[in-house]
Amino acid sequence: MLCSKMEEALNSQINAEYYSSYLYLSMAAYFDSINLVGMANWMRVQAQEEMAHAMKFFDFIAERSGRVTLASIDAPPNEWASPLAAFEDALAHERHISSRINKLVDLALAESDHATNNFLQWFVAEQVEEEATADGIVQQLRLVKDAPGGVFLLDRELGQRTFVPPSAAGP
């Protein structure tokens, strides 16, 4: 059973994961508007991943006899100065989510909630991957600067991404 502090914090994380999905959908719309359909695809897949993350938290709360309470989702930004700026924002956002996950782990440890700590370890590892992936794209965009050919090659590469549900990708 979840203590009330942990339940509240996990519900807050559900909202953060839904916001993440909303943010990436907004970025997908931005990329669609500037005809970078590969980057738009990458962001759509990222949005699907975030929805799946929210549902992992949702299901965990229910499994632990907690109560899921959903809150309003803030509107994300909808314009960026460049593809690089959008991916820099994505990286900053992933770092923010990593910080939130780390605070959840801290709370689980403080509450001696070993089941929640164990559950959160999947997200700790996931955030390492999320940050590394976003940072890699940022670094590639910085390398190509404004060279259209490089941007279009990266766009084509990012268009190959497909969604793999977390249950198929790991615990």
Q: To which residue do tokens 């669609």 refer? A: 32
The C-alpha atoms of residue 36 and residue 152 are separated, in whole angstroms, by: 8
Q: So where are the chain's domains?
A: 4-70+80-162
Q: What is the pLDDT of residue 165?
A: 86
Nearest residue to 74 (alpha-carbon basis) of 32, 133, 22: 22
Task: Compute CA distances 140 → 54, 65, 78, 115, whole Å.
Answer: 29, 45, 23, 39
Check if the beta carbon of residue 157 is closer than 8 Å to that of residue 38: yes
Nearest residue to 23 (alpha-carbon basis) of 51, 52, 65: 51
Q: What is the pLDDT of residue 168?
A: 53
The C-alpha atoms of residue 31 and residue 151 are separated, in whole angstroms, by: 12
Nearest residue to 74 (alpha-carbon basis) of 21, 27, 33: 21
Q: What is the pLDDT of residue 122?
A: 97
Q: What is the pLDDT of residue 171?
A: 52
Residues 4-70+80-162: name the CATH superfamily.
Ferritin, core subunit, four-helix bundle (1.20.1260.10)
Nearest residue to 83 (alpha-carbon basis) of 128, 32, 31: 31
Low-confidence ranges of the chain (pLDDT < 70): 167-171
Q: What is the pLDDT of residue 166?
A: 81
